[in-house]
Structures are given as structure tokens and as C-alpha cells.
Amino acid sequence: MAKDIGIDLGTANVLINVEDKGIVLDEPSVVAIDTDTDKVLAVGSEAYKMVGRTPGNIRAVRPLKDGVIADFDMTEQMLSYFIKKLNVKGLMSKPNILICCPTGTTDIERKAIRQAAEKSGSSTVYVDVEPKVAAVGAGLDIFQPVGNMVIDIGGGTSDLAVLSLGDIVESSSLRVAGDRLNTDIVNYLRKDFGLLIGEHTAERVKIEIGTAVPGHRKEEIQVRGRDIVNGLPKEITLESSQIETSMHDTLQSIVIAARELLGKIPPEIAADIIDHGVMLTGGGALIDGLPQLFSDELGVPVNVSPSPLQDVAKGTGYLLKHPDKIRDLK
């Protein structure tokens, strides 16, 4: 028998949870192709190492953008590669797959996600929404008549949802998240320092010295890139306060969306959220000072999940064992 698999098909990373084994794969959502032959050269971690460092005939592609499929063929090849790598298929059978999508996806986008999973070799494909699955993975009991709020900040999207009785009461999805914060840092350094840096460097700066609250973190980092004026390599020293400035507007847009969401929910559920607080999940939840930022702005307790990067994949494992709790989106 093939084992059921749950897939967190993220803009930045793909995680796969296999029945009875847990999370067995966590790799970047990147495919490297030879543009002369259209041949796939590398997928996942190997391809990620090539981003920003490829010769002219090799292109490192991220097939998902803002939480949805931007390149269908590449997504299908990437999924097929990962599933083959796991070797979870039985000789005569195909696995059931649960795959997740942001709340703001259209019917067409969801259909593309479903088709990519079907073509990669499965018997039944379920599609459910990321914030619900992440809430389950974070350990929230969303199936009771109690309101819970989750903010899932991934690579391409920030999904905000209030849940009760196993379904979404209110939700919103912004196509701004970790990738946009990296872009903010790149643009800030270009504008204020005349320094060009790549995506990898921006991500490292965000993790190592970034903060969401002024004065919450006081660290420095040496950053190397290319001088815009003379084209030569250049090194500068950056401080946490500068990275907070660069990320401020994007983080505020997520705060504003959270505030608007809380303004739409029934008062009983609002009372539950004051009791239980808001759960932050996704890679963005690890940004220094973010719980304090949300707590100060929303006036409710804010907690970070113990395993924010793995919550969606963990949630798929639970839901595949309880398929009656999956709301399969067509």
C-alpha cells in the first residue's frame, strides 16, 4: 500500500509529511534548468545553491510566486522529483495527497495546484487552506466551538484566519511576506548605500540582525555586494535599526490586515481571542520582535508556534488521519 502524503507547497520551501514517518523532506522550491536544452539540472537544495550564481545557459527558477504556481511545468517536475525521491508508492497503488494553498487563491489557481499533484502520481488529491492546516499543526484545537486566530507568514503570502468548529470564520490573504521583506532590504541598501546585494544575502541579514520593533535588537553585520557607481566589490556594516526601517512598511501592512480582520468577527469569537491570543506561524514568525509588534498593535496576547516552519506539513499529517476534517476545495 502506498502511504498518504501531505505537501506544504510553499513559495520558499516544499515540506512533505509521509504517513507514519512524519516530515521526511524539507527543501527549497527551486528548479535549475539548462535554457539551451530545457533539461532540469537540479531541484531543491542543489538548485538553491545556484541562485544568483549561474552561467548564462543555466537558470534557477522558483516555480511558485506569491503562494501560487507561476510555472506549471516546473512545479509539476519539482513535485514529481520530490515524490520519486521519497519512494512512497506501492507497486500497484498511488498515495493520497493533501496539498495546501493560501486562502486568497482563485478557483483556477487551486485547480493548477491540484493538477500538479495529480500529475506527480497520486490516487486522490485533497486541497485545503494553509492557515487552517497550520493552526492544526501548531497544536490549536480548531474543531471546538471556540475562536482561534492564526497569522501564517510564509515566503510568498501572509495568511490571516479566524477559525471555529474546524472552518474559517473570516480570513484574508496578502501577497506580501518573507520574500517581500528580502526585496525591501535589497532596495534599501541600493537606495541608501549604493550597494547591490542578492536574495541570499538579504535573507541572511533579515535572520541575523533583523527586528520588527525599534530598539528590540542591537546587532551588526558585515555585508558584501557590488558598488552601483563603480561596479567593484564593496563591504558595509549594517545595524538592526536600519533593517527594522527597511521592513517597517511591509510589516505594518500585515498588522493593518490583522486589525481589519479582528474588526469583522462576531463579539463572542473576539472574546475567545482575548483569552487565547493569536498564534504566529510560518517562517516569518521567527523575525525578532514580531510577537511584540502584533501584541502592541492588536492589544491581545501573541504567541509563536513551537515549530513555525513545519506547522503546515504537521497539520497535513493529522488531517490525512482524519479525512472527515478536510474541507476539500474544488
User: Does 104 score more than 70 pLDDT?
Assistant: yes
Mean pLDDT of 144-163: 96
**Does residue 93 register a pLDDT over 70?**
no
Q: What is the pLDDT of residue 92?
A: 45
pLDDT band at 191 (very low <50, low <70, confident <90, very high): very high
Give 1's pLDDT tier (boundaries 50, 70, 90). Answer: low
Judged against a pLDDT cut of 60, whether residue 324 lies above it is answered with: yes
Question: Tens of pLDDT along 220-260?
Answer: 999 999 999 999 999 999 999 999 999 999 999 999 999 99
Helix residue spans in 240-323 (DSSP H): 240-262, 267-276, 290-298, 311-321
Q: At what angle do helices 240-262 and 290-298 cross, to 10 degrees?
A: 40
The boundaries of every CATH 3.30.420.40 domain in the chain are: 5-132+311-325, 141-304
What topology does CATH give the domain 141-304? Nucleotidyltransferase; domain 5 (3.30.420)
Query: What is the structure's pLDDT at 52?
Result: 77
Across 28-52, average pLDDT: 90
Annotated binding-site residues for ATP read: 11-13, 155-157, 203-206, 283-286
Per-residue pLDDT at 84 exceeds 50: yes
Q: Output the CA–CA distances (angstroms, integers) from residue 21 to 17, 25, 139, in the order listed.
A: 7, 11, 19
The residue written with cell numbers 538592526 in the block is: 240
Lowest mean pLDDT among 38-42, 67-71, 122-126, 261-265: 122-126
According to the model, what pLDDT value does residue 55 have? 81
Residue 184's pLDDT band, with cuts at 50, 70 and 90, is very high
CATH class of 5-132+311-325: alpha beta
156 or 121, which is more confident? 156
**Which residues belong to the annotated binding site?**
11-13, 155-157, 203-206, 283-286
Indicate the average pLDDT of the chain: 92
- What pLDDT digit, counting tens, does each position of 292-305 carry? 999 999 999 999 99
pLDDT at 125: 92
DSSP 32-49: EEETTTTEEEEETHHHHT
Cell matching residue 326? 478536510
Spatial separation of the C-alpha atoms in residues 287 and 291, rounded to whole Å: 9
Q: Which three cell numbers stand for residue 131?
A: 492557515
Average pLDDT for residues 126-151, to the nearest whole number?
A: 96
Specify the pTM: 0.93
